[in-house]
Amino acid sequence: MYARPRRRHARPEIRRRPGDDGRAARKSRLRGHQKGRRGLPEIVAGRAGRAPVKRGAVIVGAAVVAIGGGAAAAAFTGGGAAPAPTATPSATAEITRSDLVDTKDVDGTLGYSGRRVLPNQAQGTVTRIRDEGAVVRRGGWLYQVAGRPVILMYGNIPIYRRLAYGVEGKDVEQLERNLEALGYDPGTVDENFSGLTAKAVRDWQDDNNLPETGAVDSAQVIVGSGPLRIAEATAEKGDPAGRSVVTTTSTKRIVHVDLPASDQQLARLGARCGLELPTGTTTTGTITAIGTVAQPAKQQGGEATIDLEVTVKGRLGRLDQAPITVSLQSERHKNVLSVPVEALLALREGGYGIRLAGGQVIPVTPGLFAAGRVEISTPTDAPLTPSLTLTPGQKVEVPPS
């Protein structure tokens, strides 16, 4: 005689409540946002407005799956003698109120701004060139032709004519300001090239191994807006001096980004962005120039790009042409409450929540995910009771990952 088959108790299925399309939409949105999310523990919480059902607050999400199928079944059905695993104590974190910023990383290249091929007017053979990377300041020479230096002065008016006794103009005043800054007395700094100006020029020429003519022309001086860095020599010693001998840049560090045209909305003049160097060092920069014309794709099938220039803050050593990761701000939510992403729980009955340090589970509506945190707010359909109020400084449990 055979014993009747023993009837096993099936676990009740969790039925979805009617009219819960909003909750499904929220879950879909969370699944689509992968930034920092590792899988949310699922718990049972009380309905909004009532105290949480503590006896049912059992984690059945990722933490239980990790135990193994058999052990998990034993733990929940009571079958077998396997003891329940010891729970790892949760850490705690505070609810904070601040701006939450999401970013998108793009590739950039570290360099210098103001790249310029310097025009050469000196005649003869190139005899000396500054080393690449050298920084030349006012009164210093950039290169030498026939043993005579071509010297840098500051200003915004190029030497377009011969400046000599009797000449007047803004370019004369610019020359006199440079002579005075270099320690030569041109008399009154004005737009008149006087006898005192000519004497100051001769003294300057004598100190720099230039013919003492008392006049200045473009073969002797190149004007720049500030210090110039030698980026590249376009001639070699022994070459006849051509239209150019060196290419220079300013000393201002920048990061150049070929921004995909589809991400153009991320670039705003004056916006700050994060920068990460190959060494792992991080600093910040400011977007100072945005191209207005899309550049064609460099590879077939690629996307057109927009030129983006980011001015770097802080010291970066002598790195040049190094790859840089640029973090552009894609979204900012101001003055919002947030918790670590790991503190967000998926409720078995639907929706999301957080567990306070005392054990109370509070339903929340998640918002922006950024920088390892998630924006939280009280659900719109929750009653306004003190027990469900979210405030900065509250401690929440953060399950071990």
Are 70 and 149 found together in one domain?
no
Enter the DSSP assignment of 59: -
Task: Express each pLDDT in 227-273 by its tens digit.
Answer: 999 999 999 999 999 889 999 999 988 999 999 888 888 888 998 89
Q: Residue 354 burial by CB count (10 A; 0-12/13-18/19+): exposed, middle or buried?
A: buried
What is the pLDDT, as a whole number, of residue 57? 35
The number of CA neighbours under 13 Å toward the Cβ of 76 is 18
How many domains are there within the chain? 3
Boundary-marking domain end, from 186, 220, 249:
249
What is the pLDDT, as a whole number, of residue 89? 63
Q: Which residue has the higher pLDDT, 38 or 382?
A: 382
CA–chain centroid gap for 145, Å, is 44
Task: Express each pLDDT in 317-359 by its tens digit.
Answer: 666 788 999 999 888 899 999 999 999 999 988 889 999 988 8
Phi/psi of residue 200, nearest 5 degrees:
-60, -40
Task: Express each pLDDT in 79-93 by its tens digit.
Answer: 444 444 555 667 889
Q: Is residue 174 part of a domain?
A: yes
Q: Which residues contact 358 (CB under 8 A, 6 or more apart)?
A: none
Task: Express each pLDDT in 304-315 by its tens digit.
Answer: 888 999 998 776
Residue 167 has pLDDT above 80, yes or no: yes
What is the pLDDT, as a whole number, of residue 42? 55
Query: Are the C-beta atoms of residues 38 and 341 closer than 8 Å to each other?
Result: yes
Domain that holds residue 273: 103-110+253-332
Whole-angstrom Cα distance, residue 323 to residue 257?
10
Q: Which residues contact 278 (CB under 8 A, 6 or more apart)?
A: 319, 322, 323, 324
Are 121 and 244 found together in one domain?
yes
Q: Is residue 7 part of a domain?
A: no
Amino acid letter, residue 122: A
Are 305 and 352 found together in one domain?
no
What is the pLDDT, as a whole number, of residue 41? 55
Residue 59 has pLDDT above 70, yes or no: no
Q: Residue 283 burial by CB count (10 A; 0-12/13-18/19+): exposed, middle or buried?
A: middle
Q: Is residue 10 part of a domain?
A: no
Are 190 and 263 found together in one domain?
no
What is the pLDDT, as a whole number, of residue 313? 79
Boundary-marking domain end, from 332, 351, 371:
332
Are 123 and 233 found together in one domain?
yes
Q: Is residue 258 part of a domain?
A: yes
Q: Is residue 278 part of a domain?
A: yes
What is the pLDDT, as a whole number, of residue 263? 85
What is the pLDDT, as a whole number, of residue 79? 43
Q: Residue 200 burial by CB count (10 A; 0-12/13-18/19+): exposed, middle or buried?
A: buried
Are 209 and 293 found together in one domain?
no
Q: Is residue 3 part of a domain?
A: no
Segment of 87-101, 144-158, 382-396 carrying the highest mean pLDDT: 144-158
Query: Are the C-beta atoms of residues 148 and 210 closer than 8 Å to each other?
Result: yes
Task: Express each pLDDT in 101-118 by its tens digit.
Answer: 888 899 999 989 999 999
- Provide the mean pLDDT of the chain: 80
pTM summary value: 0.61
What is the pLDDT, as a whole number, of residue 180? 98
